[in-house]
Amino acid sequence: MAPNTSFSNTASLAWSSQPGAPAFPARTDEANVSIRNVGLQKIFVASSEPGTSDTTNPPRVTIGEIVRYRLALRVPEGQIPALSLRDNLPGGLIFLDDGTARAVFVSNGAGLSSSTLAIPNVSGNASSLAAIPSASVSFALPTGAISGGPFNSGTDPVFAFGDVTNADGDGDDEFLLVEFNALVANNGTNNIGNNRNNSFTAFSGATNLNGNSNTVQVRVAEPVVSVSKSASPTTGDAGDVIGFTLVAGNAGGADNSPAYEASLVDTLPPGLVNLRNVNVSPNAACIGLTMSNNTVGDTLDLLFSVLAPGCLVTVSFDADLTATVAPGSVITNTASSSWTSLPGIDGTAGNPTGSTTPGVPGSATGERDGSGGVNDYNATGSANINVPGVGLIKSVIATSEAETGNAEFRPGIEDLAIGESATFEIVATLPEGTTPQLVITDTVPFTNGVMRLDSASVISVGANLAPATPAPLPVISDNQLADGINDTVSFDFGQVINTPDGLVDAADRIVIQVVATLVDEAANVNGDALTNTALVQFGPGLNASASAGMDVVEPLLNIDKSGSITQGDAGDLVTFTITINHLPASASDAHDLVFQDVLPAGLVLNPASISVTSGPNFDVNTSTGNTVSLGWITLAQADIIELEYQATLAVGVQPGQTVTNTGDLSWTSIAGANPDQRTRNDSDSHAIVITEPGVNKIVFDTSEPSTGDAEFGLPPDLTIGEQVTYRFTVELPEGTSEAATVIDQLPTGSSVLQVVSSRLVRIGANISGPGLPALGSPGLASDSDADGVDDRVVWTLGDLLNTPDGVMNADDEFEFEVVAVVLDVPANQSGDVDQLNTATLQTATGSVSGTAAIDLVAPTLALNKSIVAPADGFVDAGDTVTARLDISHTAVSTADAFNLLVTDTLPAELNWAGDGLVTSDCAGLNIDSSAAPVIVFDFAALDQTTAGCFIEYQAVVDIAAMPGQTLTNSAVLDYDSTPVFVAGQTRRRMDSDTAEVNVLAPSLVKVAVETSLADTGMSQGDPTLLDLSIGETVTYRLTLVFPEGTSSNVVLTDNLPAGPGGVIEAIGAVVTAVGGNISTSLPGNPVFQDNALGDGLADTVTLDFGTVINTPDGLDDANDRIVVEIVGRVVDVAANSNGVVLTNSAELSFDGGSLNDAADVEVVEPEVNLSKAMAMQAN
């Protein structure tokens, strides 16, 4: 029986009740038996290298190491045909087909056998599988039993055993054990920390017996060696001793393996010689380390047998810097190391796996080394020794101006004034040894400021220095801006040898001095930070620099000139005050100050008045005639000069003339004559305006007391049609004003005012002139903008003389008056604000104006009409209607309204109820009903404070009002902007509104009231409808209700059902009641017609009542009604069948509308059943 199969066993029982009798049906039952499946277990046996751990979880293996696995297959009793085991080898592991694959059977008997292999049996069971020694797995599997090759990384080997029979009959499990070796490949997939998972699968032929086994994991371990190197000291020059320390070590992590055959090589580079004093010191973790020292000359060469994880080896030695090391060079000393993953070339011999690493070092099947590619077991460590470059120091050691210091902008940085020169010192310190070429270049500032290089020289060369050119001549040039200003100097000393003495002092230095001047160029600005840079070049690509800073300082002065008067006329005295001071940004003293003021012809200088009132007195005074000219040698930063002098306004000054004089100041940056100094200037002026005439204009009065000045702001408010009186005064300066003209211009454009009158109100006592108009004279009115409205007034005054008396008062003034009116034109609207009236005095020398502003306002009212009673707006003849008129200012109204007139027109069907029934809160209301139905209400004014008022009145509905008629009542409101209406000036506006009531219409109600048979009722079908049998009659009652008043052309039409839905024949009609208030122009006799089917049966009944008058009594009762009854019969036609609902509709028509109503009845029929029975009779 094969594993994992089953079979059934069936039992059958047959019997009979007695011998020879027929058998009863057989009874059966069965039982199932299943053969046990195989079991799979994978076991890690051992690895080839003792340096990696087999006991950790998972076991660690290194590159090139060999792993031995055991496959344990539980074989159930029975037979497994064509048994094979496939090992699922992961990538990174290679099956070793080197004769080390072996097998054995495990049982407590001898029942296991293979049909193809003579595999021995060892005693054991499940509990002893792992303990069975590897040596007991002794049967070497022949080549023919192993397939799957060629074997590379991840190739699965398959082991074939033919038919395997387990004839053992005990209760233990029996097993097949297989062991084989796998190599940890030297490829890119195997790196430190990678896990490799391995399982196997059993097959019977091609059938997978029980899936994959458990997984056994190993982890790749690798040595990780690092090399570090340090030097002490890290800086030195020729002859210095440098100590080096190397540390080579293997990392000590759980996944680190030993490094084998680890080399450490360090060859001294050029510039270092005499390798000596080698010392090697391993730490305590360096178990098993042995060293070979192969050092020769200046090459350190050490070989360590093994660097265990955590092992650190410290190596130290000394070397000397040669005399040829160049300044600024960097000498790099590098040590290198390489190592392998296995001891020897093929790992540990005689290891538990029975195999050795098959490939050569560095190959895919060999150990990993440092040969390159995946063989990356190498490391380096370096240390740098810096040979000092040439040192350079630059400083300012002197300047030409003692007064400049070093504290204006950057403390400690020299300040230079424009034109000042500075002496710079450059000190170069050379390291001991040979400098291939020494070139020193100095560049004075050329950005952010400009200096001129004047001279340069070598001051000293140190005693230890031997330059090829001991005293080179300076090469001075304009090397930067090509602006003609020298800015660069260069000294070339060639090769310089500094003989070593172990000291750094003056004997190692070269000193150079450079003199440069801060020139007067625009680029040089107060506060500029300048930098003078020196550069030393001492080999290809080697240089050093040093700089010295300077700050540009300048004297920045301010002159301020003021006068005691800014306005005056001939003969007035003016005192000028001059203040000269340093601005806050000024950074140095000012020199050679010159102040000059050349007074214009309108002023006469008093030279004796020149004096300094504060600060240093002038050193030079060359003032003469009408010119002030003063000088100062120096103005220190803290000093301020205050100077005064006086002048008189000349007799020839004219009104409106401006007399301006200017004070000019110049100064220099340094004292005395210097072509490089900077001269600056400043000036200030003072102006005196010769007194001009003045105009002052006001709104003197307005015609309407109700307007104020609060609607839009301070200017007075004017309503449409209101008059305004302007007055303005013209003040003349003392003296002559030629060709004087006064013009008053009313507002134009957004508002329109018209001249009403004008006059000359007053002439000052000091004013005279040959063409002066008389008092009261009007101006000449004209239309300035061609709109047909005079809006300008002009008085021509001619040449005027205001006799001087030194006092300005009413004797120096004219006063004029202009009266204007706001016209009723579209341009004038409420909200036109700040409308300016401008009065102007024009003379031969200029003009002056004055203005007065007004704001335009206007009333805006709204009329609202409504019905107070009846509230629902429905009436009939005789009803009283109460109407209400509400008159109010709107939100945009800005003025009182006057002459309010409400014209209310009643419709013909509403009769005025009387003046005495009017109620109102409108002050002073008048009522005129003489032309009723046109009613007129008027009252004098509605001010903004009151805001609104109302009027209520009554009217009665006339008997002629027609049913359904809408009675519309309209009202119109007219009102004015001023109390007295003046055409073209007063604005009249209106508003209107309507209200309405509706006259009630007649109503119609139709019902089926009785039938001719008592036994039909309402019980069949719809219980709300009368039931009618074929041939039965029904009486319909129609009630016509009329509103009080007149209804014209009243016709009642009753349409009985006649059609496919059923038929009722009209057989009678009668007016059964006419209300006591009702009268008709026609009797309402019924007319029967066959309108629907043409079957000779009447289906329509018409009653014409003509004009119906319901005399009003204010009640709604039977006196307002007409009652009609119509009788119909259910015709014996097929359409009238049981359950049919018949609808009778009626229409009441009249002038103004019509009404409809209907009544339903239901057809019923008897249904008779016949039942017959037969029975036997007794004889």
| CATH number of domain containing 154 | 2.60.40.740
Give the side-chain half-sphere CA count within 13 A for 1027.
Answer: 17
Of how many residues is the chain composed?
1179
Query: Last residue of some domain: 553, 569, 600?
Result: 553
Q: In what order do the strands lie in the sheet with 225-232?
A: 225-232, 241-250, 312-321, 272-282
Query: Last residue of some domain: 983, 999, 1015?
Result: 999
374 and 238 in a common domain: yes
- Does residue 3 lie within any of the structural domains? no
211 and 142 in a common domain: yes
Query: In this structure, which amino acid lies at residue 204?
Result: S
As a whole number of angstroms, the distance between CA 688 and CA 51 comes to: 110
As a whole number of angstroms, the distance between CA 143 and CA 96 comes to: 12
- Does residue 304 lie within any of the structural domains? yes
As a whole number of angstroms, the distance between CA 541 and CA 564 comes to: 72
1021 and 1133 in a common domain: yes
CA 750 to chain centre: 46
In which domain, by residue range, is 620 found?
557-690
Handedness of CA 805, 810, 811, 815 (dihedral sign): positive
744 and 663 in a common domain: no
Q: In what order do the strands lie in the sheet with 78-80?
A: 78-80, 164-166, 112-114
As a whole number of angstroms, the distance between CA 809 and CA 764 comes to: 9
- Does residue 17 lie within any of the structural domains? no
Residue corresponding to tokens 């172990």: 502
| Interstrand relation of 627-635 and 509-518 (parallel, antiparallel or unpaired) | unpaired
**Which H or E run contains 57?**
none
Give the side-chain half-sphere CA count within 13 A for 877.
Answer: 20
823 and 734 in a common domain: yes
C-alpha closest to that of 767 among 795, 809, 727, 828 = 809
Over residues 184-211, the pLDDT tens digits come to 999 999 999 999 999 999 999 999 999 9
Query: What single DSSP character describes residue 1091?
Result: -
C-alpha closest to that of 396 among 415, 422, 359, 377 = 422
Query: Last residue of some domain: 553, 587, 610?
Result: 553
| Interstrand relation of 835-843 and 735-745 (parallel, antiparallel or unpaired) | antiparallel
**Which H or E run contains 514?**
strand 509-518
Residue corresponding to tokens 């490391």: 379
547 and 489 in a common domain: yes
As a whole number of angstroms, the distance between CA 1007 and CA 699 comes to: 85
- Does residue 14 lie within any of the structural domains? no
* Structural tokens at position 710: 């609060």
Alpha helices in 938-1079 (DSSP H): none
CA 215 to chain centre: 58
* Structural tokens at position 609: 């008045």
| Spans of the chain, pLDDT less than 50 | 17-18, 1179
* Structural tokens at position 859: 């009333």
From the CB of residue 1179, how many other CB atoms can be counted at a distance below 10 Å? 3
As a whole number of angstroms, the distance between CA 286 and CA 930 comes to: 139
* Structural tokens at position 4: 């994992």
241 and 211 in a common domain: no
Query: pTM above 0.75?
Result: no
C-alpha closest to that of 408 among 555, 309, 612, 225 = 555
State residue 806's pLDDT score.
Answer: 67
Q: In what order do the strands lie in the sheet with 1121-1130?
A: 1003-1011, 1033-1041, 1121-1130, 1062-1074, 1058-1059
Query: In this structure, which amino acid lies at residue 424?
Result: F
- Does residue 29 lie within any of the structural domains? no
350 and 280 in a common domain: yes
819 and 716 in a common domain: yes
From the CB of residue 22, how many other CB atoms can be counted at a distance below 10 Å? 7
1018 and 963 in a common domain: no
As a whole number of angstroms, the distance between CA 1067 and CA 1049 comes to: 26
The total of structural domains in the chain comes to 7
The phi, psi pair for 717, rounded to 5°, reads -95, 135
- Cβ(419)–Cβ(520) under 8 Å? yes
- Does residue 402 lie within any of the structural domains? no
- Cβ(98)–Cβ(355) under 8 Å? yes
State residue 1's pLDDT score.
Answer: 59
State residue 124's pLDDT score.
Answer: 84
- Does residue 545 lie within any of the structural domains? yes
As a whole number of angstroms, the distance between CA 388 and CA 743 comes to: 95
As a whole number of angstroms, the distance between CA 111 and CA 122 comes to: 11
- Does residue 403 lie within any of the structural domains? no
As a whole number of angstroms, the distance between CA 892 and CA 433 comes to: 103
- Cβ(229)–Cβ(245) under 8 Å? yes
942 and 809 in a common domain: no
From the CB of residue 659, how many other CB atoms can be counted at a distance below 10 Å? 21
564 and 542 in a common domain: no
State residue 171's pLDDT score.
Answer: 78
